[in-house]
Amino acid sequence: MLDRVLGMFSQDIAIDLGTANTLVHMRGKGVVLDEPSVVAITKGNNRKVVAVGHEAKEMLGKTPGNIEAIRPMREGVIADFAVTEAMLKYFIRKANRRNHLIRSRLVISIPAGITDVETKAVREAAMSAGVREVLLIEQPMAAAVGAGLPVLDARGSMIIDIGGGTTDIAVISLGGLVTYRTLKVAGDKLDEAIIQYVRRRHNILIGERTAESVKVKIGNVHVRCNTGHMELKGRDLISGVPKSIRITAADVREALGDTIQLMVEALRSVLERTPPELSADLAERGVVLVGGGAHLAGLDLVLREEAGIPVIVAEDPLLAVVNGVGMVLEDLERYRGLLF
Ligand SMILES: Nc1ncnc2c1ncn2[C@@H]1O[C@H](COP(=O)(O)OP(=O)(O)OP(=O)(O)O)[C@@H](O)[C@H]1O
Ligand SMILES: [Mg+2]
């Protein structure tokens, strides 16, 4: 009785807690929040949260001495527990303004193959936000569900999720990960590669956000892509003054080449370890690309050429994981076997 009454006020939610972006799906409502995983916080012993999400991301690299903008998730896992906890609490409350969390359930995605300690950290951060029950699902599985792959069937489905911190590559059959690999090389490493390139070539120092905007605007990884050029500003390392340079599609391609090669090798290694019956399915049905990195021009072409299987970019790559956790939440009976 009490359970039923409390249940009426509860609001079940599903979360994609990502290195770059956090998205929240609310039962019956769909995606209600989509914000960068960034927190601006005061320095010192008594750390106070100044801003979270979009507002905090605007501050990255621009904060005065007493404030720092932190990305509490790194390489797919919680790097700063207290700040992640504060961020998760903030997002859950923001998404759930009118309802109470008492008795509510939370489905949250975690990277495949993370340690027990890391899993416990995610669970605790969620519990501290006031949720009753936390259900965990591996990220590649959530991504595959969200991309509409038949994960419960006895046939091979393959997913590549290129996020901010990690590239997850997995072959799925009968509701389980058959072979997978998590590479700590994804969007952030691509941004770093652009920073290094500009530094080497032009002796100019640029920030993370500028590098990301180059990647998003003219990023490409295949000679067939002509994504144009752009002007960007940074600090001249010799004179110390601000300076503008022009960077072209070919420059960006050169900058990103080595990092992309690491992803290609990881894909090959997963394919090599895949049982032959499933390989046959993959050769026919291909691999689906999700995560922000799936937007990178020409990535599908490179992967197709290098791995020899069809590559399909998902319809809404940035939403695949949150849609997946959302679908699981909406139909817990059906997907129960995917949770732990
Ligand atoms: N058009 C684009 N081209 C290339 N990269 C992009 C584009 N749009 C977004 N990205 C990159 O995608 C990344 C964010 O993707 P996503 O939201 O899937 O990551 P995440 O889920 O937060 O990270 P992770 O899954 O590793 O924890 C960022 O590195 C961002 O720069
Ligand atoms: Mg992700």
**Domain coverage including residue 165:** 150-185+259-314
- In this structure, are 22 and 82 located in the same domain? yes
For 183-214, write each residue's pLDDT tens digit: 999 999 999 999 999 999 999 999 999 999 99
Say if ligand 1 is within 6 A of residue 298 CB. Answer: no
- In this structure, are 235 and 334 located in the same domain? no
Q: Going along 174-228, which residue ranges are E strands? A: 176-183, 204-205
Say if ligand 1 is within 6 A of residue 76 CB. Answer: yes
Report CA Rg, the chain.
Answer: 21
The answer to whether residue 205 is domain-embedded is yes
Lowest mean pLDDT, pick from 6-10, 186-190, 264-268: 6-10
Say if ligand 1 is within 6 A of residue 140 CB. Answer: no
- In this structure, are 249 and 268 located in the same domain? no
The answer to whether residue 49 is domain-embedded is no
- In this structure, are 250 and 178 located in the same domain? no
For 12-28, write each residue's pLDDT tens digit: 999 999 999 999 999 99
- In this structure, are 133 and 236 located in the same domain? no
- In this structure, are 131 and 270 located in the same domain? no
- In this structure, are 221 and 329 located in the same domain? no
- In this structure, are 332 and 200 located in the same domain? no
Q: What is the pLDDT of residue 3?
A: 57
The answer to whether residue 57 is domain-embedded is no
For 272-313, write each residue's pLDDT tens digit: 999 999 999 999 999 999 999 999 999 999 999 999 999 999
The secondary structure element, H or E, covering residue 229 is strand 229-236
Whether the per-residue pLDDT at 64 is higher than 90: the answer is no
Q: How confident is the model at residue 118 (pLDDT cuts 50, 70, 90)?
A: confident
Provide the domain count of the chain.
3
Q: How confident is the model at residue 111 (pLDDT cuts 50, 70, 90)?
A: confident
Which-ligand-closest: CA of 164? Answer: 1
Q: What is the pLDDT of residue 340?
A: 85
Q: Going along 46-143, which residue ranges are E strands? A: 49-52, 67-70, 73-74, 77-78, 105-110, 133-138
Q: What atom of ligand 1 comes closest to residue 215's alpha carbon?
A: 4
- In this structure, are 178 and 198 located in the same domain? no
Task: Collapse the DSSP code of 236 into the 3-class scheme (helix H, G, I; strand E, B; otherwise coil) and give the result.
Answer: strand
The answer to whether residue 54 is domain-embedded is no
- In this structure, are 15 and 79 located in the same domain? yes
Q: What mean pLDDT is predicted for residues 246-252?
A: 98
Say if ligand 1 is within 6 A of residue 57 CB. Answer: no
What's the CATH number where 77 sits? 3.30.420.40
- In this structure, are 163 and 90 located in the same domain? no
Nearest CA to ligand 1 atom 5: 293
- In this structure, are 80 and 104 located in the same domain? yes
Say if ligand 1 is within 6 A of residue 215 CB. Answer: yes
Whether the per-residue pLDDT at 7 is higher than 80: the answer is no
Distances (CA, A) of 261 to 100, 229, 302: 47, 23, 9
